[in-house]
Amino acid sequence: MMGFGRRSGEAILAMSLALLVAPSEAQVLRLLATEWPPYCGEALPGGGRLVRSVRTAFRQAGYQTEVRVMPWKRALASLASGEADGLIGAEQSSSTPAAMAVSVELMQDREYLFSRQTERAASAARLEVFRGKRVGVMRGSVVPELRAVGMLVEEANNDEANLRKLQLGRLDLMLANADEVEHLVANEPALAQRIQRLEPPIYRNPLYLLLSRRLSNWPKVMSDFNAAWERGEAMRTIEK
């Protein structure tokens, strides 16, 4: 090896490998998410299905990550101010700040209407039949289709609150992700039997990772993440 003995060569190789995997050498990305079980949540294993998958992809791409969970509006403000580098599980729209780079699609958020079992089942394909009905949504949700047909939209801080209101008859319907509702009623079989999901889904919203362009190497970070994600190993863990 160019004048080095075998042991010296092995030592150099070992040092090189150590540098490649040393945690101190990997860039640490500060990521944010909002409480959204089973996909994101402080009390969930690995931070939730989506958080776990995103962190796996970054790890495979050679990055370390720190994830904090906070309310949505605060997360957006923290990202805009530079206190964080990325936001997990965001929708892309005309209001997405130009200072944010958008990843490949992470998953689709399918949102359905839910009602009490005592209500006559109706197809969600004809929203006009719900005119005048009280529907619970997450605070800050943009639901023009529901308002356009005369539904009375009521906001709550989380879907758990809407689920309780639905159970008590203070709401006629609620709009939520099916997996989240399943998670919320997992330990309450009696409650699970009292609600029904109405088909088809009202919304199919692609979700993404937003990455701040304040990062000096954001193009490389995003490219590395997208490549790792599209290999599919991390993506498949969302379903687990």
Domain of 169, CATH number, reads 3.40.190.10
Helices (H), 22-168: 49-61, 72-81, 144-148, 159-168
- Taking CA 141 as the corner, what is the angle to CA 137 and CA 145, rounded to the nearest 5 degrees? 85
Whether residue 36 is contained in a domain is answered as yes
Whether residue 2 is contained in a domain is answered as no
Q: What is the mean pLDDT of residues 140-150?
A: 91
Q: Is pLDDT at 14 greater than 60 in this prediction?
A: no
**114 lies in the same domain as 194:** yes
Q: Is pLDDT at 240 greater than 60 in this prediction?
A: no
Please name which of 155, 191, 159 lies closest in space to residue 177, comparing C-alpha atoms.
159
What would the two tokens of residue 205 be? 């919203």
Q: Is 215 exposed, middle or buried, given 0-12, 13-18 or 19+ CB atoms closer than 10 A?
A: middle
Contact 141, 177 (CB under 8 A): no
**33 lies in the same domain as 75:** yes
Residue with the bigger pLDDT between 6 and 48: it is 48
Whether residue 18 is contained in a domain is answered as no
- Three-state DSSP class for 17? helix
**64 lies in the same domain as 115:** no
Q: What is the mean pLDDT of the chain?
A: 86
Q: Is pLDDT at 195 greater than 60 in this prediction?
A: yes
Whether residue 117 is contained in a domain is answered as yes
Q: What is the pLDDT of residues 79-136, one digit of tens each?
A: 989 999 999 999 887 777 788 999 999 999 999 999 998 877 677 788 999 999 999 9
Whether residue 104 is contained in a domain is answered as yes
**196 lies in the same domain as 115:** yes
Please name which of 213, 173, 235 lies closest in space to residue 87, comparing C-alpha atoms.
213
**What confidence tier does 25 reach under pLDDT thresholds 50, 70, 90?**
confident
**36 lies in the same domain as 100:** yes
pLDDT, residue 96, reads 78
Q: What would you report as the CA-atom Rg of the chain, rounded to the nearest whole angstrom?
A: 22
Phi-psi region of 109 (alpha: psi -120 to 50; beta: other; left: phi over 0): beta
Q: What is the pLDDT of residues 38-87, one digit of tens each?
A: 999 999 999 999 999 999 999 999 999 999 999 888 998 999 899 999 99
**What range defines the domain where residue 102 resides?**
28-108+205-239
Lowest mean pLDDT, pick from 27-31, 121-125, 195-199? 121-125
Lowest mean pLDDT, pick from 16-25, 102-111, 205-214? 16-25
What would the two tokens of residue 135 be? 């529907």
d(CA 89, CA 69): 12
**120 lies in the same domain as 198:** yes
pLDDT, residue 6, reads 35
**What confidence tier does 239 reach under pLDDT thresholds 50, 70, 90?**
low
| Percent helix, percent strand, percent coil in the chain, to nearest 5 | 40, 25, 35
Q: What is the pTM of this model?
A: 0.77
Largest interatomic CA distance in the chain: 85
Q: What is the mean pLDDT of residues 218-238?
A: 86
**121 lies in the same domain as 49:** no
pLDDT, residue 233, reads 65
**38 lies in the same domain as 152:** no
Contact 161, 181 (CB under 8 A): no
Neighbours of 163 (CB within 10 A): 23
Across the strands, what pairs with 207? Answer: 107
